[in-house]
Amino acid sequence: MLILTLKSARSALLALASVLISATAFAQAPEAAPAKPAAMSEQEALFWVLLGLLGVLLLMLLFTGITIAVQMKPQLRKLYDLPTVHNTWSGQVLGLLVGDARLVQGDVRDEIMDHEYDGIHEFDNDLPPWWKYGFAFTIIFAVSYLFYYHVAKKGQLQGAEYAAEMRQAALFVPAGSDDPNLLTTYQPLTALADISSGKSVFATNCAPCHGANAEGKVGPNLTDDYWLHGGEVNHVYKTIKFGINGKGMVSWKGKLSGKQMLQVSSYVLSLKGSKPANPKPPQGEKEVAGKAVAKL
């Protein structure tokens, strides 16, 4: 999580940097081509140096400001108390500097009102300014929010947001790989490592329906010679990937990786003839090894 946060903070800074840099570039050479990715590392270094300098500068400024405010507090206080300054905007900023709590909590006069209810009295103190301005801010936020999404129509509402998310995801998927009609041309895996990871994928995902030893429960027995949707590895792969709509075999596309699906297909084929206990009676057509489309 921490790394994630750091990452996102870094990317935010990078975005800021690119804005800064492009702004300078724009000022100097409007026709300059956009920075190439290759130049990023150099830019990045420059950015960190600049950012560091900026930070130091800001710290110094802050320190100076604090020093002045602390050193000159009596004078500032006097200035603040001038009636011509006291109630102006700049006067209020000054008030914050000299630490006038009234600006945060309001004028606490604590004058009792001339009524009481069953012994309960009431003051009539000001609304705390932070509360008042906070309320105003939320109202401005709310109005702008509605304006942004529904009048200016600038923001993405959920449909558009979803479409954008799916478009972005589609960039990662190679075209054509999702056509259920195209059969893959894999060979079954035989390496022990592949078979054993296939076995663990099977145990967590397939065993509830096909049984712990693939003897068949809700789903068919996978250890006999009978197949409902083809027993050759690429047919098994296809059945796993796309599922059999309406018959209970769910699609594992997006849940298992291509490699995992091939591993589990290979594992299943390796179980052929293992004769587990309580086998489910055969379903589908008998297939003899070698009869299938591609060679085993």
Judged by CB under 8 A, the number of residues near other proteins is 59
| 277 interacts with other proteins by CB under 8 A | no
Tell me if 194 sits within 8 A of 263, measured CB to CB: yes
Residue 5 within binding range of other proteins, rule CB under 8 A: no
In this structure, what token pair is assigned to residue 212?
Answer: 């712990």
Of the pair 3, 288, the CB lying nearest other proteins is at: 3
CB of 35 to other proteins, least distance (A): 26
Choice from 138, 177, 187, 200 touching other proteins (CB under 8 A): 138
Contact between 284 and 216 under an 8 Å Cβ cutoff? The reply is no
Asked whether position 204 contacts other proteins by CB under 8 A, the answer is: yes
- Segment near other proteins (CB under 8 A), from 6-14, 20-28, 226-234, 239-247? 239-247
Nearer Cβ to other proteins, position 15 or 250? 250
Q: Does 172 bind other proteins (CB under 8 A)?
A: yes
Which string of x and - marks every residue 93-132 that binds other proteins (by CB under 8 A)?
Answer: -----------------xxxxxxxxxxxxxxxxxxx--x-
Quick one: tokens of 257?
């990786």
Q: Please choose, out of 36-44, 62-70, 88-96, 142-150, the segment that lies near other proteins by the rule CB under 8 A.
A: 142-150
- Amino acid identity of residue 151, one-letter, is V
> Locate tokens 């923001």: which residue?
155
Integer CA distances (angstroms), 203 to 5, 209, 221, in order: 35, 10, 15
Quickly tell me which residue has 């796309």 as its tokens. 242
Rounded Cα gap, residues 220 and 228, in angstroms = 8
Quote the CA–CA distance of 182 and 33 in Å, as a whole number: 43
The DSSP secondary-structure symbol of 38 reads G
Count of other CB atoms within 10 angstroms of residue 171: 6
- Side-chain-side CA neighbours of residue 100 (13 Å): 24
139 binds other proteins per the rule CB under 8 A? yes
Residue 89 interacts with other proteins (CB under 8 A): yes or no? no
Write out the residues near other proteins by the rule CB under 8 A: 110-128, 131, 134-135, 138-139, 141-143, 145-146, 149-150, 157-159, 161-162, 165-166, 169, 172-173, 204-205, 207-209, 217-219, 245-248, 250, 252, 254-257
